[in-house]
Structure 1
Amino acid sequence: MARKKIIIDTDPGIDDILALLLALSAQPEEVELLLISLTFGNIEVKSCLRNVVSMFHILEREIQWRRQNGRTEGFGAMRAFRPVVAVGAEDPLEDQKMLADYFHGTDGLGGIHASHPHLTPSQTWEHLFDPAVDPQGIETVKTGADPEDHSFIPSRLPAHKEILRVLRENEPNTVTLVAVGPLTNLALASAEDPETFLRVKEVVVMGGAVNEPGNVTPVGEFNAYADAFAAARVFALTSPNPNSTLPPSKTSLLPPYPAKLSRQLTLRLFPLDITLRHNLSRGEFRTAVAPLVEAGSPLAEWVSAFMAHTFQTLERLHPGHVGDDAELSLHDPVCVWYALTCEDPHWAPTATSPEDIRIETTGQWTRGMCVVDRRNRHPIEGDEESASDHGLWLSQRAGNRIYRMDESPAEKTFGSILIEKLFS
């Protein structure tokens, strides 16, 4: 089986960190994480960067602890291939910014940097990402610090340019882009160079809600809501005629796509409909991780600290889910798990896939809504609007083509699988 190459575009975030840990815990023959591109979302993008750097700091300490205690070191994918880390979008393209710090905490990890300062590295790494110091891109040795001291490679380029660089430097159809935050970086990359962006094998998106209620509005899931305009632009690349589904722009910051593109984007959507079925309970987590905390595992201590905040927040938001029954939905880790195990035949989209799913960008109450045509009508050959079909929903030459994922290999046991991968 060929080693998979992936990019993770993320806004860490609690479940984002768990998703990154899952990717880095894989065997080196399984996956090469080429790039971690950061966006605003759950928190401000600078806090996202601190959380990622903290994660690598903890993993370096964890591997040392395991080595000293005669344990299997793990995290082979990280030790074999140091990923580039790049900072991306600070704001949505057109909408008012909304963060999810009400759930993740103001620092994205339940206040861990204040409550557990001994687990957070000093801020001396910040200059590694400062574009004013050296705008040429990936850090070399100019900082005075040996880059081999880090488990990652810092970049001074914007994240969307790093996405394009990775896609240019790898053969077409070999890199999977897993997007588990707002799609702003992807929209910027595809606008700047759509043909290079379309070299991607597929884009795996955590976002949206189709038959489930939203989690920030009655119809809006957070990632789709946070930058609905960006999501709509990325979804449009799945269409035979991308400009037919482009969202109306208030500021015209990004141009339309070229009239002809070499191919359509393959996009696999993981909406709340599937991610809400993959959970980790407090009881499962405590049973597996508490002994490791007592044994002195830095990773177990770090993850336990922000998970404690998470389960308390879940109890507050969802009455009846208390104690060991409180469950965290593993939205982002499911997408990474798919990228690692996509050959498993138990992964399956809906029977109606590919579906024409579009993201609402202008509605007063429906921003970020996944709009699906539920009318029972015949498709038509034409590519002109008719009075009975505004928006070309029935046209076979227009509309988006989204693969909405609906089945996974082990949704009932994924929480246990995740914990075993991270801590075994």
Structure 2
Amino acid sequence: MAPLNRIIIDTDPGVDDVLAMLLAFAAKPEELEILLISVTYGNVEVQSCLRNVVALFHVIEKEREWRKARGQLEGFEAMISSKPIVAIGADHPLEDEILMADYFHGIDGLAGVHTSHPHLSPSDAWKTLFQPSAASTSTGKVAEAHESSSPTASFTASQAPAHKEILRLLKENPRDSITIVCVGPLTNVALAAAEDPETFLRVKEVVVMGGAIDVEGNITPVAEFNTYADAVATARVFALTSPNPSSTMPPLPLKLSTLNPYPRQLSRPLKLTLFPLDVTTPHTLQRSQVSAKLDPLIRDGSPLAEWTSAFVHKTLDKMESLTRKQADPGLELHDPLTIWYMLTRSAPSWMLAPKAPEDIRIETAGQWTRGMHIIDRRNRKKGGVSQQVKSPGAVDISDPMDSLTIATAYDDDDAPGDNGGWLSLVKGNRINRIISSPGEAVFGKYLLERVFG
């Protein structure tokens, strides 16, 4: 019997992305099935991101061998039972110039770990696995492209673009059986949605780490990195949550004219759950926790503890150089929080914003506000009638339209003084925003225990 949580992880592996994947891979097979690692640019360029994914599998294999030799449980059953596909995706945003966070994550995305610990990095032989063969290039068949296996037992290398693998998996599996967890720029997901919107809408839920609502951004005063890196892609994905996607679609520049517009009528809206900085930032992994857990394992010879400790401590050093010195600095666990949600989503302490779903829109054209998440804070009624809102409570991914009253008449025109249709019942996005988790103080310890035992 397949697990309830079948996921695709769309990622630009830097430090917290790798911690998120470690948490997913360390799950039990009945908790998670990881179908695909969809790799995109972001923290560093896409080939470095791909290298980090392959290195992660490589180090976990070494770790399992080390544990087996010591007579321990080897762990990482979800990874072994899933044998995820790994596919390369976009290497640049839909519209803007590429933006990278190598100033923070290091030139390789993992604080230089490939240089400082070459004995834990894979050889370059893996690169040929992702190069399309002459047969697959001539036939153009996506189904054949993912069949070549890697020399590792841990993953299957795909020669198809990541967004096509996303669509293939959604098409070949039952509707509402796959969740896409997005912890990087949304370019791959936007490409999949543009190519085949109805197949894309077979997804159960899209879980997005991104944005800043009531807190400052981490790349500009108002924008979070993942959104800022491809604001147009984020806006296009968010638009699919709307009963009228065209009402929030970004203007289409000439060079993007090859992207398909969404059909006027879609079978249903997208279910999207957002993890902005407001909820992710307070979840931290303290330096003292890392040292207490990993130092004894390093002394005993754990490859994974050595590798993880290297880039986590280097990243904490970088944080201290950029901010005021703290007694016990913490690494913010933005991306891992989405995996914790997938593992514990039924817990009542996962709380949505009081007025969920919210009309959250993405600024794509502002000189200083690109990537900003915008909410209408005016005290005005929608559609001339009161809006029904849910009390804060456990996550519910039912139809995003269920929480709105049905007006007696729908009006496509904007209300007076409401340019953009913010007060309309048939315009605007419908985003479920997470505001609370099972516990900020316990997550760092939980992650370390799940991964390292």
- Normalising by structure 1, report the TM-score: 0.96
Counterpart position of 1:382: 411
Cα offset for 1:417? 0.2
* Residue 191 (structure 2) aligned to one of 169, 188, 191: 188
Length, aligned pairs only: 418
Secondary structure of the structure 1 residue equivalent to 2:335: helix
Cα offset for 1:96? 1.8
Q: Give the conservation status (yes or no) of the 8 Å contact 1:357–1:371.
A: yes
Secondary structure of the structure 1 residue equivalent to 2:440: coil
What does the per-residue CA deviation read over 1:18-61, in whole Å, with 9 as the maximum and x for residues that have no partner?
00010000011111000000010000010010000000000111
Secondary structure of the structure 1 residue equivalent to 2:36: strand
Mapped pair 1:18 → 2:23: no
Q: Distance in 1 between matches of 2:245 and 2:132?
A: 33
* Residue 169 (structure 2) aligned to one of 166, 171, 183: 166
Secondary structure of the structure 2 residue equivalent to 1:339: helix
Q: Give the conservation status (yes or no) of the 8 Å contact 2:286–2:329.
A: yes
Counterpart position of 1:108: 109
**Superposition pairs of residues 401-420 of structure 1, within 5 angstroms:** 401-420=430-449
Q: Give the conservation status (yes or no) of the 8 Å contact 1:246–1:256.
A: no
Q: Give the conservation status (yes or no) of the 8 Å contact 1:242–1:257.
A: yes
Q: Distance in 2 between matches of 1:189 and 1:197?
A: 7
Counterpart position of 1:289: 294
Secondary structure of the structure 2 residue equivalent to 1:404: strand
* Residue 278 (structure 1) aligned to one of 258, 277, 283: 283
Mapped pair 1:7 → 2:12: no
9-18 vs 384-393, greater mean Cα deviation? 384-393
Counterpart position of 2:317: 312
Secondary structure of the structure 2 residue equivalent to 1:413: helix
147-156 vs 336-345, greater mean Cα deviation? 147-156
**1:2–1:121 CA distance, 2 compared to 1 (3 A):** closer
Q: Give the conservation status (yes or no) of the 8 Å contact 2:294–2:309.
A: yes
**Superposition pairs of residues 91-240 of structure 1, within 5 angstroms:** 91-131=92-132, 133=134, 134-135=136-137, 136=141, 137-140=144-147, 147=150, 149-240=152-243
Mapped pair 1:266 → 2:271: yes
Q: Give the conservation status (yes or no) of the 8 Å contact 1:66–1:72.
A: yes
Q: Give the conservation status (yes or no) of the 8 Å contact 1:356–1:402.
A: yes
What do you get for the CA RMSD once the two structures are aligned? 1.3
- Normalising by structure 2, report the TM-score: 0.90
Q: Distance in 2 between matches of 1:351 and 1:65?
A: 48
Q: Distance in 2 between matches of 1:80 and 1:305?
A: 28
Cα offset for 1:138? 3.8
Counterpart position of 1:53: 54
Q: Give the conservation status (yes or no) of the 8 Å contact 2:415–2:423.
A: no
Q: Distance in 2 between matches of 1:90 and 1:162?
A: 16
Secondary structure of the structure 1 residue equivalent to 2:206: strand
334-343 vs 271-280, greater mean Cα deviation? 334-343
Q: Distance in 1 between matches of 2:372 and 2:355?
A: 19
Q: Give the conservation status (yes or no) of the 8 Å contact 1:346–1:407.
A: yes
Q: Give the conservation status (yes or no) of the 8 Å contact 1:206–1:270.
A: yes
Secondary structure of the structure 2 residue equivalent to 1:7: strand
Q: Give the conservation status (yes or no) of the 8 Å contact 1:138–1:153.
A: no
**1:118–1:237 CA distance, 2 compared to 1 (3 A):** same
Q: Distance in 2 between matches of 1:321 and 1:367?
A: 31
What does the per-residue CA deviation read over 1:200-249, in whole Å, with 9 as the maximum and x for residues that have no partner?
00000000000010000000100010000000000000000011110012
Cα offset for 1:387? 4.6
Q: Distance in 2 between matches of 1:138 and 1:58?
A: 26
The one-letter code matched in structure 2 to 1:223 is N
51-60 vs 335-344, greater mean Cα deviation? 335-344
Q: Give the conservation status (yes or no) of the 8 Å contact 2:85–2:146.
A: no
Q: Distance in 1 between matches of 2:161 and 2:349?
A: 37
Q: Distance in 2 between matches of 1:253 and 1:330?
A: 37
Percent of aligned positions that are identical: 56
Counterpart position of 2:32: 31
Q: Distance in 1 between matches of 2:18 and 2:108?
A: 13
Cα offset for 1:100? 0.5
The one-letter code matched in structure 2 to 1:198 is L
Counterpart position of 2:248: 245
Q: Distance in 1 between matches of 2:184 and 2:132?
A: 23
Counterpart position of 2:390: none
Counterpart position of 1:336: 339
Counterpart position of 1:301: 306
Q: Give the conservation status (yes or no) of the 8 Å contact 2:146–2:160.
A: no
Q: Distance in 2 between matches of 1:7 and 1:203?
A: 10
Cα offset for 1:132? 5.0
Q: Distance in 2 between matches of 1:387 and 1:248?
A: 23
